Amino acid sequence: MVPVDGGLTAFPGPEGSTMAGAVLGHGADAAVFLHQTSTSGFCGFATYAEWAASRGVRAVLIDLCGWGRSACKGAFAADTEAQVRLVVDWARAHGARRVTLVGASMGGAIALGVGQQAGADAVVDLSGPAVWQGVPTAGEAARATTVPLFLAVAPGDREMDPAALRSAVSASPSQHKRFVSTSGGHGWGMLNDGPLNEPVWTPLARDVLAWVQGDYALR
């Protein structure tokens, strides 16, 4: 079990669809967490989300359609942009003044691929593959991304194509963009050097938190 207290939240969608998730914290700066391909679904982000919530962030965790307890129907089930927009809009309707997508691996590719179109104010991509089904490539998406863009990947994570991801960030017209070459790890695993019940947050974890809070200064 993930050592985080809190209940589930249902995000109703079109045609009777429901996306499952959880909300931690009440801050005006919201982070919507998009999970990687893991049987734990959004729970893999739960301890980091709790930590961010304790520092003033409204953390919104969701299971994308086809994962966890989400039950999606019709065209919505295959439309990742619509799924992300649903939760971004929910966060704004509940008081968020800024909404940042934070995605890991699959979720990172989706965050970069559809984030700006879905209404996000900023994007964080942790090890999102350069090519993922159903969304534009990292290069295509980055060239259309003008909101703040943060991308981190380990050089040894070759299946993600780090060189292509670095080039994608360079090509983005965003005034605030950052590429981080990490020492290792993948996705949400790059945020914590300890066990789930006793996390040791990495410098990357703190940089991601700053990005969510609107601090885009290079360090």
Residues 6+ apart with CB under 8 A from 134: 78, 80, 113
pLDDT at 96 over 90: yes
d(CA 200, CA 39): 23
Q: What is the pLDDT of residue 28?
A: 96
Task: At 119, list the tokens.
Answer: 């209404």
User: How confident is the model at residue 3, as a pLDDT?
Assistant: 47
Q: Is the pLDDT of residue 47 over 90?
A: yes
**Distances 147 to 44, 167, 177, 184, 187 between C-alpha atoms, Å:** 26, 17, 8, 27, 21
Confidence of residue 113 (pLDDT cuts 50, 70, 90): very high
Residue of 119, 67, 117, 69 lying closest to 90 (CA atoms):
119
118: tokens are 């879905």
Residue 90's φ and ψ, nearest 5 degrees, are: -60, -45
- Asked if 91 and 42 count as a contact pair (C-beta separation under 8 A), the reply is no
pTM for the full predicted model: 0.95
- The answer to whether 115 and 84 are in contact (CB under 8 A) is yes
Tens-digit pLDDT profile for residues 8-36: 899 999 999 999 999 999 999 999 999 99
Is-contact 151 182, C-beta < 8 A?
no
Tens of pLDDT, residues 116-131: 999 999 999 999 999 9
Q: Which contiguous run of DSSP H or E holds residue 10?
A: strand 9-12
Is residue 102 scored above 80 in pLDDT? yes
CA proximity to 151, closest of 120, 117, 176: 176
